[in-house]
Amino acid sequence: MTTTGTGQQAEAAVAAYLTTLGYKIVDKNWRTKVCEIDLIAKKQQVIYFIEVKFRSSATQGAGWEYIGPQKLKKLKFAASVWAHDHNYNGDYSILAAEVSGAGQGAINIVEIVD
């Protein structure tokens, strides 16, 4: 399977998992010319911007560890663009979702706080 196919499987697994936790998926693979967000979900009155990371094995480290300062800056920018484009002024949070093993393994959700 291609990297894109594996990423799409991981994103679908995270979307399904979040739905079971009461989140409503608002958008998938939202993008502009300069930024993108894997998943956008809503629970209660909060919007969540989710970066999905797939790891085929634990030897690769945790997916959220690969979200460094530059990636976090891009995620924050993308979230602000989405909020502006959708006239959204409410609370939001950025999450990392790590999927381990073939897109059907364990899913860990981590809130990114800087």
pLDDT tens-digit map of 28-69: 999 998 899 999 999 999 999 999 887 765 556 555 566 778
> Does residue 72 surpass a pLDDT of 50?
yes
Question: What are the b/e assignments for 22-50, b being 16+ CB within 10 Å?
Answer: ebebbbbebeeeebebbbbbbeeeebbbb
Q: What's the pLDDT at 81?
A: 96
- The CATH number linked to 101 is 3.40.1350.10
Q: What's the pLDDT at 64?
A: 59
Number of domains comprising the chain: 1
Q: What's the pLDDT at 103?
A: 44
pTM, two decimals, is 0.82
Instruction: Look up the domain containing 61 and give its range.
Output: 3-111
- pLDDT digit string (tens) for 5-14? 667 888 888 9
